[in-house]
Amino acid sequence: MSVLRSMDKLPDLNRATVLLVSTEDALLQQLAESMLKDDCASELRVHLANSLPLPSNVNRPRIDLIVFVINLHSKYSLQKVEEFLQHVDSSFFLGKVCFLVTGAGRESHCSVHQNTVIKLAHTYRSPLLFCDLQVESFRAAMARRLVRILQICAGHVPGVSALNLMSLLRSPENPPSKEL
């Protein structure tokens, strides 16, 4: 029962680890496969998790990026993600946490409003990405994006740090409210 800390362990050489957290297993599997298919110069490690806190008996490399996947069609995923956020140390939120939202395309099935997620991302000052993970091409594009973000968070890109990226991806201060 431990809190995830960002700089507890030393990094492995040329290795970048991403932790995908969500209540939906299938999405995570598909996303992980897309990410591994993408070729990049560093060695990629993808860890999948259904719930935090992670069991502490496993020997795990340093986690560089945490991606919380929220499905707008189920309130349960949002609830769980909000619970998981308590188990993450605040040092992670300096650019090493990312929120990925899926299912925004079909408005009729959405039980979670977009503004809720936007506010959540704004509170935690983390970038919010929208993607429909069911479609292959979108998933591949998002996987590439995540791989680039992961490389920056792992320190593999000289001159750009995670904090730098966070301020680059900063969204406007007042999230615009959608007129119904």
Partner 1 sequence: MEEQPPERSEAGAEACGEKRGLSQAAEESIEDRISLLLRLRAQTKQQLLEYKSMVDTNEEKTPEQIVQEKQIEVKIEDLENEIEDVKSNIEMKSLALSRMKLSVALRDNMENMGPENCVLTDDMKHILKLQKLIMKSKEESSELEKKLLDVRKKRLQLKQASRSKLLEIQTEKNKQKEDVDKMENSETIKTMKKKLQTEIKITTVVQHTFQGLILASKTNWAEDPALRETVLQLEKDLTRYEKNPTV
User: In this structure, what token pair is assigned to residue 170?
Assistant: 């900063």
What is the spatial distance between Cα 38 and Cα 137, in angstroms, rounded to a whole number? 13
Taken in order 27, 131, 93, 162, is the CA torsion positive or negative? positive
CB 61 within 8 A of CB 12: yes
Following CA atoms 67, 169, 102, 48 in sequence, which dihedral angle do they give, to the nearest 10 degrees? -10
Instruction: Give yes or no for residue 164 binding partner 1 (CB under 8 A).
Output: yes
Please report whether residue 174 would count as binding partner 1 according to CB under 8 A.
Answer: no
Distance separating alpha carbons of residues 154 and 47, to the nearest angstrom: 15
Interface residue with partner 1, options 173, 176, 177, 179 (CB under 8 A):
173
> Minimum distance between the CB of residue 7 and partner 1, rounded to whole angstroms?
5
Query: 45 or 73: whose CB is closer to partner 1?
Result: 45
The minimum distance between CB 91 and partner 1, in angstroms, equals 7
Q: Which two tokens stand for residue 144?
A: 């590439």
Restricting to residues 31-50, which ones interact with partner 1 according to CB under 8 A?
41-42
Q: Which of 117, 142, 141, 143 is CA-nearest to residue 128? A: 117
Among 3, 11, 53, 169, binds partner 1 (CB under 8 A): 11
Q: Tokens representing 128?
A: 């919010």
Q: Determine which residue in the list 106, 115, 163, 171 makes contact with partner 1, applying CB under 8 A.
A: 163
Q: In this chain, which of 60, 125, 144, 148 binds partner 1, going by CB under 8 A?
A: 125
User: How far, rounded to the nearest angstrom, does the alpha carbon of residue 100 sit from its chain's CA centroid?
Assistant: 6
Q: Considering the complex, what minimum distance in angstroms separates the CB of residue 49 from partner 1?
A: 24
The answer to whether residue 161 forms part of the interface with partner 1 (CB under 8 A) is yes
Query: What is the footprint of partner 1 within residues 72-111 (CB under 8 A)?
Result: 91
Interface residues toward partner 1, by CB under 8 A: 7, 11, 13-14, 41-42, 91, 125, 154-159, 161-164, 167, 170, 173
